[in-house]
């Protein structure tokens, strides 16, 4: 009996190691697939932003950016945030426990039914009363420019339905990622950017108000980005259907979502705080931060977000199998891989900030003063890139062990520090002080997560 057991162990051990190596290789392949799709989308997004910056006045640019922040904020809270990271580990566990996939399909259907109710309610409220949210986001001085607030309200009312499409897309993407399908979800945002590019060229004579076309372009792009995933989900047998059967799996997701929504809610409160601070600095800073964000997101999306998204199902599976050491080794490896790209990208952004902005945006109604201020923001953001990229690769480890409260706590601490520190720095450095405060809190967030990893998961040698 003992010899047989030893033989069995010896036969299984190399196989388990081989499976671990295959899982690690899959993360790289999945991340590369996502990076390719993201790269295509980001190139088109860059074209979109070039047209947007050059074709519209500063008032329209600020109004559209502020209005778009509103549905985008809720989309990140519900779609790309706590919902996805809470759903994927439970979904992976359900498929492992029930090879027939009946339990997993019931989970997909039941949770989406609940999600539809939430999205429909939120979309209706945001479309009918966007003024309530905008008054929270924007400083009272924002209304000093005649017609600017009314234009922002109009755009927000058009674009708020974006949250419905994009949260649905994020749910579909979460299902496909958990099933090992990464390419199409990563390519889908290209359809959003194509719709946005086309909307810039709609003649003004067909519109009631400046910016109407790019607002409707957001809605059309969000719908296309979501619909393109439906045929594949249907073929895989996981296209959600209405089902009023809220199992224990759904309740577990909701329990895990609460601290996750708290943490992401705090991040979105930070977005509101930054928007309010920026709107108090006159016309332009809202757009400057938006364009700098877009450039910062290019390396983040290509590497950090792709790695983080691809890692979550893999790490969740390792944790479910009790492979804590392998999980730490995998997270450590991909954090180092992330730094190999993030550090050179940060140096490049800092050194070349001014020429990059001038080449990309200095034309039309985007003048030299706009370019100089955007470059200032990018230089500070180049430092933020390193800490933020590490956070996005590290956080999936906490979500994989179904611990969403720790990232929430870290976000809460950073928010308090930012609210206190930003006004102090703004008094001395204006817009530069605001983004510098974001750098300080981003570094603090990474520090908290690295220290907490050792206590909650295991040893983690970053260097």
pLDDT digits (tens, 9 = 90+) for 212-243: 999 999 999 999 999 999 999 999 888 998 88
Q: Say if residue 372's pLDDT is above 90.
A: yes
Contact between 155 and 9 (Cβ < 8 Å) = no
- Of the candidate ranges 136-140, 142-146, 220-224, 263-267, the one whose mean pLDDT is the lowest: 263-267
pLDDT of residue 1: 41
Tell me whether residue 313 is in a domain: yes
pLDDT of residue 376: 92
CA distance linking residue 65 with residue 339, whole number of Å: 31
Q: Say if residue 271's pLDDT is above 60.
A: yes
Q: Which two tokens stand for residue 233?
A: 């989900």
The owner of tokens 């994989």 is: 400
CA distance linking residue 136 with residue 131, whole number of Å: 9
Q: Which two tokens stand for residue 139?
A: 């400083």
Tell me whether residue 461 is in a domain: no
Tell me whether residue 422 is in a domain: yes
HSE, CB side, 13 Å, CA atoms: give it for residue 147: 5
Tell me whether residue 356 is in a domain: yes
- Of the candidate ranges 76-90, 137-151, 183-197, the one whose mean pLDDT is the lowest: 76-90
The owner of tokens 């907490």 is: 452
Contact between 77 and 264 (Cβ < 8 Å) = yes
Higher local confidence (pLDDT), 43 or 435: 435
Contact between 40 and 190 (Cβ < 8 Å) = yes
- In this prediction, residue 371 has a pLDDT band, given cuts at 50, 70 and 90, of very high
pLDDT of residue 5: 41
Looking at residue 146, the DSSP 8-state letter turns out to be T
Q: How many domains does the chain have?
A: 1
Angle at which helix 285-299 crosses helix 324-351, to 10 degrees, equals: 130
Tell me whether residue 77 is in a domain: yes
**Which 3 state secondary structure label does DSSP give 461?**
coil
pLDDT of residue 182: 73
pLDDT of residue 411: 83
Average pLDDT over residues 261-275: 71
Q: Which two tokens stand for residue 366?
A: 């985007």
Domain around 350: 25-456
Tell me whether residue 2 is in a domain: no
pLDDT of residue 17: 45
Q: Say if residue 339's pLDDT is above 80.
A: yes
Tell me whether residue 462 is in a domain: no
Q: What is the mean pLDDT of the chain?
A: 82
Query: Each residue of 153-162: pLDDT tens digit?
Result: 999 999 999 9
Higher local confidence (pLDDT), 461 or 291: 291
Q: How far is CA 353 from CA 41, 294, 324, 389, in A?
A: 22, 13, 42, 19
pLDDT of residue 11: 42
CA distance linking residue 103 with residue 233, whole number of Å: 17
E strand or H helix at 316: helix 306-320
Tell me whether residue 463 is in a domain: no
* Percentage of residues in the chain having pLDDT higher than 90: 27
Backbone angles phi, psi at 208, to 5 degrees: -85, -25
pLDDT of residue 356: 93
- In this prediction, residue 69 has a pLDDT band, given cuts at 50, 70 and 90, of confident
């Amino acid at each position: 009996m003992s010899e047989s057991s030893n033989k069995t162990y010896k036969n299984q051990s190399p196989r388990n190691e081989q499976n671990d190596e295959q899982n690690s290789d899959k993360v790289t392949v999945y991340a590369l697939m996502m990076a390719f799709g993201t790269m295509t989308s980001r190139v088109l997004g860059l074209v979109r932003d070039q047209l947007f910056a050059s074709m519209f006045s500063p008032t329209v640019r600020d109004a559209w950016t502020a209005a778009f922040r509103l549905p985008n904020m809720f989309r990140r809270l519900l779609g790309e945030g706590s919902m996805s990271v809470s759903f994927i580990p439970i979904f992976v566990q359900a498929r492992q426990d029930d090879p027939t996939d009946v339990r997993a399909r019931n989970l997909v259907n039941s949770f989406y039914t609940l999600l539809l109710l939430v999205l429909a309610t939120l979309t209706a409220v945001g479309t009918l009363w966007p003024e309530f949210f905008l008054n929270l986001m924007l400083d009272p001085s924002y209304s000093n420019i005649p017609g600017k607030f009314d234009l922002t309200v109009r755009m927000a009312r058009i674009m708020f339905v974006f949250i419905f499409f994009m949260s649905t897309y994020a749910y579909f993407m979460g299902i496909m990622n958990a099933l090992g399908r990464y390419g199409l979800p990563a390519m889908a945002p290209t359809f959003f950017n194509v719709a946005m590019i086309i909307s810039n060229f709609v003649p003004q004579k067909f519109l009631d108000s400046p910016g109407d076309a790019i607002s409707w372009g957001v809605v059309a792009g969000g719908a296309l980005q979501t619909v393109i995933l439906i045929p594949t989900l249907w073929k895989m047998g996981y296209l959600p259907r209405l089902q009023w059967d809220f199992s224990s799996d759904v309740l577990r997701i909701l329990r895990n979502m609460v601290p996750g929504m708290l943490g992401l809610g705090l991040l979105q409160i930070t977005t509101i705080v930054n928007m309010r601070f920026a709107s108090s600095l006159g016309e332009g800073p809202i757009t400057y931060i938006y364009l700098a964000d877009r450039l910062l997101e290019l390396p983040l999306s290509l590497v950090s977000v792709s790695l983080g998204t691809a890692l979550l199902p893999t790490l969740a599976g390792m944790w479910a199998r009790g492979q804590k050491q392998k999980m730490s080794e995998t997270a450590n490896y991909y954090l180092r891989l992330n730094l190999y790209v993030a550090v050179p990208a940060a140096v490049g952004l800092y050194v070349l900030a001014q020429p990059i902005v001038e080449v990309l945006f200095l034309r039309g109604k985007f003048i030299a003063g706009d370019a100089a201020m955007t470059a200032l923001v990018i230089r500070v953001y180049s430092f933020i890139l390193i800490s933020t990229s590490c956070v996005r690769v590290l956080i999936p480890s906490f979500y994989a062990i179904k611990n969403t409260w720790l990232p929430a706590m870290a976000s809460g601490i950073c928010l308090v520090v930012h609210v206190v520190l930003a006004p102090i720095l703004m008094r001395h450095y204006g817009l530069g002080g605001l983004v510098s405060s974001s750098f300080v809190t981003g570094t603090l967030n990474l520090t908290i997560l690295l220290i907490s990893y050792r206590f909650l998961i295991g040893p983690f040698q970053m260097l």
